[in-house]
Amino acid sequence: MNASAYADERLPRYTSYPTAPQFHEMDGALYASWLSSLAQGTPTSLYLHVPFCRSMCWYCGCHTTVALRDGPIVDYLATLRGEIALVAEALSAPLDVRHVHFGGGTPTILEPADFVALVTLLWQRFPIHPDAEIAVEIDPRRLEPPMTTALAAAGVNRASLGVQSFDPVVQKAINRIQSVEQTAAVTTGLRNAGIAAVSFDLIYGLPKQTLQSCLDTVEQCLSMRPDRFSIFGYAHVPEFKKHQRRIATEDLPNGEARHEQAELMARLLTEAGYVRIGLDHFALPDDPMARALSQGRLRRNFQGYTTDPCEALIGFGASAIGKLPQGYIQNEVVIGRYAERIADSVLPTRRGYRLTPEDRLRAELIERMMCDLTVDIDAICSQHAVDARVLAPSRRKLDQLSHEGLIAFDGSRVLLPENARLLVRKVASVFDAHLDQQQRQYSRAV
């Protein structure tokens, strides 16, 4: 098998199926009807998007903007509270909230008292389970002790810290200067405050990144012993993210180098006792994610791999995406338009997608492949009222991948060998009926 033959293909990350480029225009009235149809006690997750940072990291692919003063953040928070009220009013029965996730941007850019008040509002508007996971993404460069105290007071019990790389050369190339000492102090502060579950995010394929810098970064992170790691491949899409144009293409490692970096980091983590999970996650053996993997309960959503089995995901904030039993919903991306819709007392839905029975079949095949690195096509087809012949083109592609030595395939069961794990998106893509290989908005397969 020649992995490099697939490494430069541009493919979705498959945090949803169909993927976001397939979403189309949708209005708030339809979303409101979907919300009102949720049954009492539906297991639900909430996602809140805070699209502000104090500075722009040049590698960033998120929907965020730089806020050098607090005025826009305060205004946005008021709008966010308005959306929470609109969604709560659209529901016809109380839900059962099991997960709350704050993402961005930099969610901890909020004032400590404002963050606590926001979580308090969620508790007032939605029945949040006493054992719910409340997670927040953190930029360690911007977290001060008062905010750590506020996070603990708000019930946050999982923190995800952006690290990316500790190599000073790489940090300069991506406009993100962050010391090991700074990160260690934040990690210790969170744990001392009672937020014991800590995850680190790293990136490979960054400008000027080398195998040695990857090794050094992982070893420095291991000294802090986070519960989980996420190791993502940098997605260079300057045609969509203009700030990425500050990164010189010639400074980026090629597909083969990216593959070597990813595998080196994975080897270091597994040798340190972490369980390798799916494409890009690692967890200590007693972590809930490692247990979910061993029990076949691992899931995948817009936050990546997760233990979250909830039937409904409600997204709040500009650009936020949610999923209800009927399909996907995305809010207005532009903050001004998002605020205008809320000011008019209208749900700020911009796009969405209504799932078909065939979509649900393909989504399950893709999710199981992404999570388990294996899937039994016939077994899953038997659970869906869809003519299995729609998968004939997928089976032909699988036969070809089997002939090329990438997978084992007996006509029903697909198995990706361990040494090809990083190419799981390539295998999952054979089930994607919408994929256009020419779409440049996707990132490299490795």
Is 146 a member of any domain?
yes
Is 343 a member of any domain?
no
Residue 346's pLDDT is: 96
- Report which residue type is found at 418: E
- Boundary-marking domain end, from 260, 293, 316: 316
Residue 51: closest CA among 60, 39, 38, 42: 60
Residue 107: closest CA among 120, 122, 119, 124: 119
Least confident range of 53-67, 95-109, 213-227, 375-389 = 53-67
Compute the CA torsion angle 363, 438, 349, 244 (nearest 10 deg). Answer: 120
Residue 185: closest CA among 198, 176, 172, 174: 198
Residue pair 306/299 in contact (Cβ under 8 Å)? The answer is yes
Compute the CA torsion angle 28, 31, 33, 37 (nearest 10 deg). Answer: -160
Residue 322's pLDDT is: 97
- Boundary-marking domain end, from 260, 289, 316: 316
Helix, strand, or coil (residue 89): helix
C-beta neighbour count of 82 within 10 angstroms: 16
Residues 143 and 247 grouped into a single domain: yes
Residues 287 and 363 grouped into a single domain: no
- Residue 287 and residue 284: Cα distance in Å, rounded? 5
> What percentage of the chain's residues is helix, strand, coil (to nearest 5)?
40, 20, 35
Is 410 a member of any domain?
yes
- Residue 412 and residue 408: Cα distance in Å, rounded? 10
pLDDT tens-place string over residues 161-216: 999 999 999 999 999 999 999 999 999 999 999 999 999 999 999 999 999 999 99
C-beta neighbour count of 311 within 10 angstroms: 15
Residue 240's pLDDT is: 83
- Report which DSSP code applies to 297: -
Residues 273 and 378 grouped into a single domain: no
**Residue 416 pLDDT class (50, 70, 90 cuts):** very high
Residue 238's pLDDT is: 87
- Boundary-marking domain end, from 301, 316, 331: 316
Q: What are phi and psi of 295, to 5 degrees?
A: -100, 5
C-beta neighbour count of 92 within 10 angstroms: 10
Is 328 a member of any domain?
no
**Residue 438 pLDDT class (50, 70, 90 cuts):** very low
Residues 262 and 394 grouped into a single domain: no
Is 327 a member of any domain?
no
**Residue 241 pLDDT class (50, 70, 90 cuts):** confident
Residue 288: closest CA among 303, 305, 310: 305
Q: Give start and end residues of each alpha helix (H) in 96-253.
A: 112-125, 145-153, 168-174, 180-192, 211-222
Helix, strand, or coil (residue 439): coil
Asked if the model's pLDDT at residue 280 lies above 60, the reply is yes
> Could you list the residue range(s) of the whole structural domain that residue 62 is in?
4-316
Is 329 a member of any domain?
no
Residue 3's pLDDT is: 56
Residues 183 and 254 grouped into a single domain: yes
Residue 94 — left, alpha, or beta (φ > 0 → left; ψ -120 to 50 → alpha)? beta
What tokens does 236 get?
């260079």
Domain total in the chain: 2
Q: What are phi and psi of 251, to 5 degrees?
A: -85, -5
Chain mean position to CA 326? 21
Residue 178's pLDDT is: 96
Residue pair 160/183 in contact (Cβ under 8 Å)? The answer is no
pLDDT tens-place string over residues 321-373: 999 999 999 999 999 999 999 999 999 999 999 999 999 999 999 999 999 99
Size of the chain in residues: 446
**Residue 303 pLDDT class (50, 70, 90 cuts):** confident
**Residue 443 pLDDT class (50, 70, 90 cuts):** low
In this structure, the strands spanning 43-50 and 52-53 are: unpaired
What tokens does 168 get?
């000073």
Residues 124 and 186 grouped into a single domain: yes
Is 208 a member of any domain?
yes
Residues 287 and 362 grouped into a single domain: no
- Percent of the chain exceeding pLDDT 70 equals 96
CATH number at 77 reads 3.80.30.20
Residue pair 348/28 in contact (Cβ under 8 Å)? The answer is yes
User: What predicted TM-score, i.e. pTM, was given to this entire model?
Assistant: 0.93
Residues 30 and 145 grouped into a single domain: yes
**431 or 239: which leads in pLDDT:** 431
Residue 435's pLDDT is: 87
CATH number at 400 reads 1.10.10.920
C-beta neighbour count of 91 within 10 angstroms: 19
C-alpha distances (whole Å) from 287 to each of 227, 255, 280, 356 are 7, 32, 16, 35
Residues 264 and 131 grouped into a single domain: yes
The rounded mean pLDDT for the chain is 94
Residues 362 and 306 grouped into a single domain: no
pLDDT tens-place string over residues 257-279: 999 999 999 999 999 999 999 99
Residues 77 and 22 grouped into a single domain: yes
Residue 126 — left, alpha, or beta (φ > 0 → left; ψ -120 to 50 → alpha)? beta
Instruction: Return the CA Rg of the chain.
Output: 21
Q: Tell me how many degrees the CA angle 139-144-150 measures, rounded to the nearest 5.
A: 95
Residues 305 and 383 grouped into a single domain: no
3-state SS, 210-224, equals CHHHHHHHHHHHHCC
Asked if the model's pLDDT at residue 2 lies above 60, the reply is no
Is 348 a member of any domain?
no
